[in-house]
Structure formats: structure tokens, C-alpha cells
Amino acid sequence: MLSLPIFLVASVVKIVLVIFILLTAVAYTVWLERKVVGHMQNRWGPSRVGPFGLLQPLADGVKFLLKEDLTPPHVYRPLFIAAPMIAVICALTSISVIPFGTAIPVAGHIIPLQITDLNIGLLVILGVTSIGVYGVALAGWSSNSKYSLLGGLRASAQMVSYEICLGLSLVGVLIVSGSFSLQQIVESQRGYFWGFIPKWNIFYGCQFVAFFIYLMAAYAETNRIPFDLPEAETELVAGYHTEYSAMKFAMFFMAEYANMITVACLATILFLGGGNGPLFGPPLLRLILPTFYFVAKVFVFLFTYIWVRGTLPRFRYDQLMAFGWKFLFPLAIANLVVTALVVAYRS
Amino acid sequence: MLHLVLFLVFGAICVAGAINLLVQSHPISSALSLVVVMASLAVEYLLLGAEFVAAVQVIVYAGAVMVLFVFVIMLLNAGVEERTKGSRVALILGIPGVLAGGLLVAWVLIERTGTATVGLGALPGFPKTIGNLLFHDFLLPFEVTSVLVLIAIMGAVVLASRPEPKNPEKES
């Protein structure tokens, strides 16, 4: 156990560091997306600011800060201002229970690479993201414009529907690991099946079905193509953030990308073994490698996000609802029953 | 000490949210006050040690039920409530009624539990304990409740579905 002052110092340092890394990651995920989608569509993407356009996120940030922050006269002001804040706060809070790697010794103290390890860690993430729906819904309503309202309505219906599939797809993993603590879920995936297949949850029985459900539900939860109907620009201008400008718009953007990163971290922890991987080399390398594996897996997941965006068209709204309720939902329940039976049989 | 202070602060927020829910004239503001009530209740559960219940409270009530409330209000585009002076009967009967009800509840609580109350952090919070309670000790009530919920869902479906028009020409 750490003493109180050391605990406080370590926590503050960790929080500042995690928020800083998360925001940088958000900025560079936007850059990566523009670059990769650009190449997929035979364009260059950002290329002017800095080498490979690497300083483009900075330029964007400065632009968002310096632009005029318009508040249209017909909006309901308190909620119009609060909505982007709710969205971004919820998006940044959910990163706090994610373990990024093994514990590292700093000046004689063992510091875990995680802001806090709760024994209901997974539920905290689900709870915080379910509150995040209000940011989008209220933005749509308080803007007092038809496009925003439709976007907000679509977003809340879609997120509530797919949250059920998301939750059910995770229950299988919870049955296998027997814990809500993300640290222990990662711990339970250490080792190998038959000596060479990593003992990740995705390879456990039929959990790849759960991974597929999670993937679909995660795309819908973060309002990404092919489920980006809340901001479908061909029909709704920009959906729930039509009336927003400057930093308030940027906050929605940040929330969306931070949510993407959280979802990718969660997928890594629950299905892809977190920071588990082959350890070798001197002690220092052994400490760094888990974090490296973690970041690499998150990167692959984020790249898939962008890849899908460059490949798939958008669903129609009734297709989205039918897919969620009539296909994913029964599939998730079937997966849950089969996993429970398998675990009960083995124990 | 910190627990007690937090408990009192969030209890105050909870009551303030509940009062605001009644005072606000716009449905969305009322619904959002209810979200505040739900969220602060979750913090109270957390402080009592029931962390699983707290998380479920946030996910189910604040995250799903209230989102649907807000959704319906947005969809119906409900306007600002009309203010009335309130009826005199409610004033004469209401205040004594509320006082009597409050006294009754307080009396039952004191009578049944004595001065002993649940200490902060004393409730069984672990998901494992709750699972054992739900699916082992109280399995029958749990299953009966789930059938009850199923009946409610079926009733809602029946009520919400429009009857088939018998004469299509007349309907339009």
C-alpha cells in the first residue's frame, strides 16, 4: 500500500499524464483518419503543415480556438452550452479505469499504470458512456433546429438500442474471467492454449462471436460509419452539431474520438489480452513491452475503424434498427447461453 | 468523516434535484432534474458500500430509463407547462397528509430498526454477493419479478399497437 501523500502525488501525475496522452491521441487519430482515408480515396490528405502534415492537428486546434464562437439566437442557452461539456466530460472520464500495462517501480514504490483499479471497473465505463448520450441528445434538442433535433433523436434511439447488445456481448467475457475488474480480466488472459495460441478471450470458445457483436455495437455507440446516421451529412447537414461552431464543435469532435479510443482500449482489454504478449530482453524492456503491446493492439483497432469508414456505405435507419434488434440481440443472447453452458460444463 | 460529509452533500443534491423537478415548468428541465436525483442516489449507494447497485443505478436509471424519458419529451415536443394557482383542497388536505405520511414512515423505520442504521460502507457490495443473493437465496421472487416485467412489456405492446383497420377506404 502507498501512503496518502505519495498516493495523491502519484494519482495527480497519472491523471495529468493520461489526459495529456489521450488528448494528443485524439488529435493524431483525426490526423491518421484524414491521412488513411485520403490515401484510400487516391488523395494525399493533410500534407502542407509540417512533414507529412504532422502539425495539422496543432493548426486545427489554433483554428478552433480563434474562430468566432457563435450562439444562434433561437437556442435554449443553458443546455446548448452544457451539452458539449457533458459529451466531452463523459468521454474523458471513462479512460480512468483502463490499465495500460504492468505496474512499474518508481523511486521504490510500485505504481500501477492505471489511474484507479475498481472492482466494478467495466460497469463504470458502461455507466459513464450511457450518461454521454445526454450530450448528443440535449445538443440536438436545445439547438432548436429540425436537423439537430432529428440527429439527436436518432442518436439517442441508436445508442440506447446498441448499448444492450454491447453489454450482452461483454457478459460472455465476464463469465469466462469471473471479474469486473479490468486488471483481473487482463490477468486471466495470460498464457497460451496448447502452447502457442495466446489465451485471449477472443480465442476462447465462441467468443469471436461476442467480439463481432462488440465491434458492431461499438461502431454504433460511437456514431461512426456505417452507423453514423445521427450526423448523416447527406440528409441532416451535420446532425446534432449543426448549430455548433468553434470550440463547442471541437468538443463534440474530441468526445467522439476519445470515445473511439476508449472503445478500442476496452476491446483490447476484454478480447485481445490487454498488455499480454511475449516478454523478453533486459528488465527495463520487460516493463515497457506490455504497454507497447497494448498500444499496438489499440492502434490496430483504431485503424480498422478508419478502414471501415473508407470502405462501407451508410445503413438506412430501419436497417440499423432491424440489424440491432433482430440480428445482433438474439445472437448476443445465444452467445451468452452457449458460453454459460460451456463454462458450467468445464467447472 | 469524508464519507459522512459526502453522504450529506449528495443527499442535499438529491433533495434539491427532486424539488427542482417539481418547480421547473419545462418537461426537459424536470427530466434532467430527475437524472440528477438518480445520479446522486447512485453516489449514496456507493458511499453505503453497495458499489454494484450504484453502477447498475447509473446504467439502468440514469443511462437508459431517463434517456427514453428525454427521448419521448423531445419526440412529442412538449411545450411549457401551464401554471395554475393550485386547488385549495390539495392545500388543506395535502400538507397534513404529507406530514402524516412522513411521520408514519419515520415511526416505522425507528420502530423496526431501532436507532441502529446501516453504517457507511456496510452493505454487501461485491457483485458475487449480490449474484448469490439474487440467484440463490431469492431466486423465486427474482423469477416472479421477471415474469411481471414480461407481462408489462406485452401489455405495452398490445396498448401501443394500432388495431387493424377493418375498412381501409373509410379509414383514410
Domain residues for the domain of A148 are 71-346
- The confidence score (pLDDT) of residue B148 equals 94
pLDDT digits (tens, 9 = 90+) for A268-309: 888 887 777 777 777 777 778 888 888 888 999 889 888 888
Domain contains A36: no
- The confidence score (pLDDT) of residue B16 equals 92
**Which of A138, A162, A170 lies closest to A152, judged by CA?**
A138
- The confidence score (pLDDT) of residue B117 equals 62
What mean pLDDT is reported for chain A? 83
Element (H, E) at A111: strand A109-111
Which of A123, A127, A133 minimises the CB distance to B67? Answer: A133
Residue B22 clears pLDDT 90, i.e. is over it: no
Count of domains observed in chain A:
1
Query: Measured over all CA atoms, what is the biggest interatomic distance in chain B, rounded to whole angstroms?
Result: 73
Q: Which residues of B touch A138 (CB under 8 A)?
A: 28, 32, 70
Q: Mean pLDDT lowest for which of A193-202, A256-265, B45-54?
A: A193-202
**Which of A319, A156, A149, A268 lies closest to A223, judged by CA?**
A156
Which of B64, B75, B126 minimises the CB distance to A130? Answer: B64
Which of A131, A149, A163 minimises the CB distance to B74? Answer: A149
All three cell numbers of B161, joined, read 399497437
Domain contains A154: yes
pLDDT digits (tens, 9 = 90+) for A159-189: 888 888 888 888 888 888 877 778 778 877 7
Residue B79 clears pLDDT 70, i.e. is over it: no
Whole-angstrom Cα distance, residue A201 to residue A247?
Answer: 40
Domains of chain B: which residue ranges?
2-125, 126-163
Phi and psi dihedrals of A180, rounded to 5? -95, -15
Residue A1 clears pLDDT 60, i.e. is over it: no
Please enumerate in sequence order all residues whose Cβ is within 8 A of that of A256, keeping only pairs 6 or more positions apart, or say none: A91, A222, A223, A224
pLDDT digits (tens, 9 = 90+) for B28-59: 888 889 989 998 998 888 888 778 888 888 88
- Which residues face A111 on adjacent strands? A104
Contact B28 A141 (CB under 8 A): yes
Q: Which residues of A touch B39 (CB under 8 A)?
A: 131
Q: Which residues of A touch B78 (CB under 8 A)?
A: none
Q: Mutual orientation of helices A146-177 and A329-346 as an angle, nearest 10°? A: 10
- The confidence score (pLDDT) of residue B135 equals 83
- The confidence score (pLDDT) of residue B172 equals 46
pLDDT band of B145, cuts 50, 70, 90: very high
Whole-angstrom Cα distance, residue A116 to residue A99?
Answer: 8
Q: Mean pLDDT lowest for which of A64-68, A118-122, A195-199?
A: A195-199
**Which of A287, A159, A289 lies closest to A228, judged by CA?**
A159
Best of B40, B43, B51, B59 to disrupt the A interface by mutation (most A CBs within 10 Å)? B59
Domain contains A147: yes
pLDDT digits (tens, 9 = 90+) for A183-193: 778 877 777 77
Best of B35, B46, B51 to disrupt the A interface by mutation (most A CBs within 10 Å)? B51
A154: nearest CA in chain B? B71
Residue A2 clears pLDDT 80, i.e. is over it: no
Residue A132 near residue A91, CB atoms below 8 Å: yes
For residue A189, the 8-state DSSP code is: T
Contact B67 A79 (CB under 8 A): no
Which of B62, B68, B127 minimises the CB distance to A180? Answer: B127
* A residues 45-104 closer than 8 Å to B (CB): 79
Residue B115 clears pLDDT 60, i.e. is over it: no
Domain contains A41: no
Contact A134 B58 (CB under 8 A): no
Cis peptide leading into residue A226 (ω within 30°): yes
Whole-angstrom Cα distance, residue A215 to residue B31?
Answer: 32
A134 to chain B, any CB pair closer than 8 A? The answer is yes
Give me the CATH code for the B2-125 domain, please. Answer: 1.20.120.1200
Q: Provide residues of B within 8 Å CB-CB of chain A.
A: 28, 32, 35, 39, 51-52, 55-56, 58-59, 62-64, 67-68, 70-71, 74-75, 126-127
Please enumerate in sequence order all residues whose Cβ is within 8 A of that of A162, keeping only pairs 6 or more positions apart, or say none: A216, A217, A220, A221, A227, A324, A328
